[in-house]
Amino acid sequence: MKALVVTPFYPLPIRSGGHARIANLVKYLGRQHQIDMLSLVTPEHSREAPELEGLARPAEKIFCKQNHTLAARVQEALAPAKWPRTFRRIVDRLVLRMPHEAVRYYQPDFVRRLQSLASEGGYDIIQFEFTAMGGRFVPMVKTLAPDSALTVEEIDIAYVYLDRLMREEKDPHRKRYLEGEMNKMIPFEKRLWKEADAIIAMSDADRDHISRHVQAEKVWSVPNGVDTEYFAYQPRKPKGRQRLLFVGYYQHPPNLQALEYFLGEIYPRLRQRYPQLGLDIIGDAAPAAIKARHGKDGIALHGYVPDIRPLMAQATVLAASIRSGGGTRLKMLEAFAAGLPIIATSLAIEGIDVRPGEHVFVGDTAEEYFAAACRALDDPAGAVEIAMNARKQIERFYSWQVICQQLEKAWNHARERKYAHA
């Protein structure tokens, strides 16, 4: 098949679960199919982006400036050269009531190139990554590429994600904003499900949720995967004291919420019980308040780490205290594959076929999470046994080769349904 993958970011270097999923699906599917890619990309990220394995030709990257302050955004919007884009975004936001992410993706150069590829590329499959990208462009592409099957990867169910995020938010202004975005996302996302030819969900639970709103045969469960050879089991090599590992991309709000919760509610109690305990924090975009804790109370911040396996090998357990968001989390699959014991909330392992006590330590309240952490730290041999059970489960069900076969079936089915209804 010939496929076009449309993404809101270029997936290399890998900085998040979304980056890892897109990069690996292209890598493995590209061995059997011709895959092109169209990505939005910020200029600062483009300079460090290597070529993506699996693509038939280099990805097409459309540059978009990312303004980090309100003043900069207003200044750009008012520039005469940007008036057409600004007007379109105002209509999208105020008249069509699109969610913020979908409005932000309206970049004229990107739209023009997508229109050209859709109408002239002869693609069997055009796949959109993330709800906002799909909802923004599927209606347009349907008319331009009537013979292409349009698929959307729902990395999470966006309005469920926003609802969970809102419930955990403490700031009242931010809470109202999230509620407004959720209320816009609900009709936007449900309309997308009806218009796309196939919806790719990250778990059986997400598939079942979506199937309550559209024909079940157009919704496929294709979970996240992991490179089980790259993240091969390696015996723990702790250097002295026990160390916890926390991994996330902190521009993603659920990850930042989880880290703040862990540092505020869990880690101080663990340090009191285990005075020599340390914590390694990996990931981009930690705010200043978090960075200020580097070197204090056994905490070390590492920022973006291109290869986390050495830090995994030194860790005693991985802490995953996710309390909002959706989808399945690649950092969990990577730690499971590496045989690293995990202390998680139920939400952190959502959509992954693992069971508390058999594959992972689980605690949802602060008290439960603290107790689970103590069980793991007090019995290292038992924790390793549980981690090895998880490793076997991941090898069986979550290798990228297995996951790509499932996505390939979804693509074939979408094409067959497209021809059947032609």
Give the global pTM: 0.85
Question: How far does CA 15 lie from the centroid of its chain?
Answer: 10
The C-alpha atoms of residue 99 and residue 82 are separated, in whole angstroms, by 20
Question: Strand, helix or coil at 345?
Answer: coil
Q: What is the pLDDT of residue 237?
A: 62
Query: Taking residues 213-234, what's their average pLDDT?
Result: 92
Q: What is the pLDDT of residue 16?
A: 82
Question: How far does CA 162 lie from the centroid of its chain?
Answer: 14
- Is 243-397 the same fold as 2-225+400-420? yes
Q: Which residue has the tokens 């936001």?
A: 93
Measuring CA to CA, which residue among 188, 143, 181, 137 is closest to residue 162? 181
Helix, strand, coil distribution of the chain in percent, nearest 5: 50, 15, 35
pLDDT greater than 80 at residue 414: yes
- Token pair recorded at residue 211: 């199937």
The tens digit of pLDDT for each residue in 170-201 reads 899 999 999 999 999 999 999 999 999 999 99
The tens digit of pLDDT for each residue in 357-382 reads 999 999 999 999 999 999 999 999 99
The tens digit of pLDDT for each residue in 107-134 reads 999 999 999 999 998 999 999 999 999 9
The tens digit of pLDDT for each residue in 31-48 reads 999 999 999 987 666 566
CATH 3.30.70.20 fits 2-225+400-420, yes or no: no
Tell me the CATH class for 243-397: alpha beta
- Token pair recorded at residue 415: 């094409």
Under a CB-based contact definition with an 8 Å cutoff, are residues 164 and 326 in contact?
yes
Residues 6+ apart with CB under 8 A from 306: 13
Domain positions in the chain are 2-225+400-420, 243-397
pLDDT greater than 70 at residue 384: yes
Local structure of residue 228 (DSSP, 8 states) = T
Q: Which residues pair with 360 in a beta bridge?
A: 356
Question: Strand, helix or coil at 415?
Answer: helix
Q: Which residues pair with 301 in a beta bridge?
A: 281
Q: In 86-167, which ranges are E strands?
A: 125-129, 149-154
Query: What are the counts of helices (DSSP H) followed by strands (DSSP E) for the chain?
Result: 18, 13
Q: What is the pLDDT of residue 47?
A: 61
